[in-house]
Amino acid sequence: MKHMLLEATMPSTLADEFNPRLSAEARFDTAAARLGLDDGMQKVLRSPSREVIVHIPVLLDDGRLEVFTGYRVQHSVARGPAKGGIRYAPDVTHDEVRALAAWMTWKCAVVNIPFGGGKGGVICDPGVLSPSELERITRRYTAEIFEFIGPDKDVPAPDMNTNEQTMAWIMDTYSMHARQTVSAVVTGKPINLGGSRGRAEATGRGCMIVTDQALRRLGLERSSTRVVIQGFGNVGGMAAKLMSRAGYKIVCIIEWDGAVYNATGLDIAALMKHRTETGSITGFSGGEDMDKTEAMFLECDVLLPAAKENVITSQNAHKLRTKVLCEGANGPSTHVADAILAEKGIFVIPDILANAGGVTVSYFEWVQDRQGYFWSEQVVNDRLEEIMVNSFQDVVAYSDKHGVNNRLAAYMLALDRVAAAIKMRGIYA
């Protein structure tokens, strides 16, 4: 059956196309219309459950008093506590946090774990703040949102410019207010504070698992599969490491300062060592440097964007020369680009499926903390693979059944599951 293209109109400006809230709403609208959801249910699914804005006074190291703005958006709690990361960046916006919270709702529903969606952010520049200043921001932010988070309410996690140390500060601050240790209030913690084995690799591992499934569907083999990865951090770097070990041919890595290419496959361990020693992937003896923009359009079998939002747009989607697009980042493709990707016949593994390995193992961490019993890394990886494989099959089955592309299928599946939970619970009045 010919797959229906996502309906998308050209935005009035590129700024509109790049607005994450508008992208989330456009995809929601198309999926909701295809499902035939009534206006009332659409309003419920579209509306955040709660939005919190806090203004955080912090004493800086030089004695100045500064006020930072923080957000926490709980998009849905219909299927369980809100779940989602906290990011620190100077360009954090309310719209961005809203969109990311909605994406978390759909992501958790796609992989069928008992969470809703949430997201947080603080407008700050971690690059110019000392560790002690970041700690004070984190602790005051936690205190301000204390009543809205918790193991049964909303479970934050690391995101852009936050890490396991940030989560340790949040867990400690929350526990001090609760007057008892509450390890399940956040995930992504250090192992010795209740973190889960396998969490650091989870998102990259999940990308590999769903790519494996795509290869099987398309009749491809790992050994002959050329992969281009944008981003060499926690997601892209881990995906590169794991996929290289599994027999994929990683032909190009793209970073913020350049790209490195080797047609026969890069030695990922050696490239990681080079980056550690020099601070850059460029100048690597095992490959040749190339323009980072042009590298995105190399002919390959798998393109895995794992860096930032809005890198595949209406301006460049037609240039892609890949068979599979596995979205390791959140929102790497704009909603306007969706129709172009579908028209080109690219097999898209959408972000709300492809990068859901992280939230899946965060769910495992939450379960382990509440049980007080911790699993081996092998158990974590086996259970992650089971969920990711089942979720991939659910999405492609939905795609085949409804005659839509994978992204629309993933959104339709997610909306269907959340709407079903709301209907079963009923509306309290």
The predicted-structure confidence for 16-27, as pLDDT tens digits, reads as follows: 898 877 888 899
The whole-number average pLDDT for the span 33-52 is: 96
Q: Which residues are catalytic?
A: 119
Of 354, 386, 410, which residue constitutes the final position of a domain? 354
The whole-number average pLDDT for the span 90-108 is: 93
Residue 23 has a pLDDT of: 83
- Contact present, 199 and 362 (Cβ < 8 Å): yes
Report the distance separating Cα 398 and Cα 415, nearest Å.
Answer: 12
CATH number at residue 185: 3.40.50.10860
Of 336, 354, 372, which residue constitutes the final position of a domain? 354
- Contact present, 391 and 111 (Cβ < 8 Å): yes
Backbone CA torsion sign across 10, 11, 15, 16 = negative
DSSP characters over 200-258:
TTHHHHHHHHHHHHHHHHHT--GGG-EEEEE--SHHHHHHHHHHHHHT-EEEEEEETTE
Task: Let me know whether 172 and 206 are in one domain.
Answer: no
Residue 6 has a pLDDT of: 40
Task: Let me know whether 69 and 183 are in one domain.
Answer: yes
The whole-number average pLDDT for the span 345-367 is: 97
- Contact present, 235 and 306 (Cβ < 8 Å): yes
Q: Which residue has the tokens 């030089």?
A: 62
Residue 95 pLDDT greater than 60, yes or no:
yes
Report the distance separating Cα 173 and Cα 187, nearest Å.
Answer: 14
Q: In what order do the strands lie in the sheet with 226-230?
A: 288-290, 258-261, 249-255, 226-230, 302-305, 324-326, 347-349
CATH number at residue 251: 3.40.50.720
Residue 414 pLDDT greater than 90, yes or no:
yes
Q: Would you give the end-to-end CA distance of the chain in angstroms? A: 44
Which residues have CB under 8 Å from 330's CB, separation 6+?
Answer: 100, 103, 309, 351, 355
Task: Let me know whether 170 and 211 are in one domain.
Answer: no
Asked if residue 153 is part of any domain, the answer here is yes
Residue 131 has a pLDDT of: 98
Of 154, 189, 224, which residue constitutes the final position of a domain? 189
Asked if residue 315 is part of any domain, the answer here is yes
Q: Give this prediction's pTM.
A: 0.93
- Contact present, 410 and 6 (Cβ < 8 Å): no
Q: Is 29 helix (H, G, I), strand (E, B) or coil?
A: helix
Task: Let me know whether 173 and 216 are in one domain.
Answer: no
Paired tokens of 244? 């290289």
Task: Let me know whether 168 and 258 are in one domain.
Answer: no
Asked if residue 395 is part of any domain, the answer here is no
The predicted-structure confidence for 110-157, as pLDDT tens digits, reads as follows: 999 999 999 999 999 999 999 999 999 999 999 999 999 999 999 999
Q: What percent of the chain has pLDDT over 70?
A: 97
Asked if residue 114 is part of any domain, the answer here is yes
Residue 7 has a pLDDT of: 39
Instruction: Work out the mean pLDDT of the chain and round it to a whole number.
Output: 95
Residue 400 pLDDT greater than 90, yes or no:
yes
Residue 11 pLDDT greater than 70, yes or no:
no
The predicted-structure confidence for 160-192, as pLDDT tens digits, reads as follows: 899 999 999 999 999 999 999 999 999 999 999
Asked if residue 216 is part of any domain, the answer here is yes
Number of domains in the chain: 2
Q: Which residues form the domain of 339?
A: 202-354
What confidence category does residue 288 fall into, taking pLDDT thresholds of 50, 70 and 90? very high
Task: Let me know whether 182 and 208 are in one domain.
Answer: no
Q: What percent of the chain has pLDDT over 90?
A: 92
Asked if residue 218 is part of any domain, the answer here is yes
Task: Let me know whether 143 and 253 are in one domain.
Answer: no
Asked if residue 365 is part of any domain, the answer here is no
Please indicate whether residue 78 or residue 15 has the higher confidence score (pLDDT): 78
Task: Let me know whether 145 and 232 are in one domain.
Answer: no
Report the distance separating Cα 170 and Cα 189, nearest Å.
Answer: 10
The predicted-structure confidence for 376-399, as pLDDT tens digits, reads as follows: 999 999 999 999 999 999 999 999
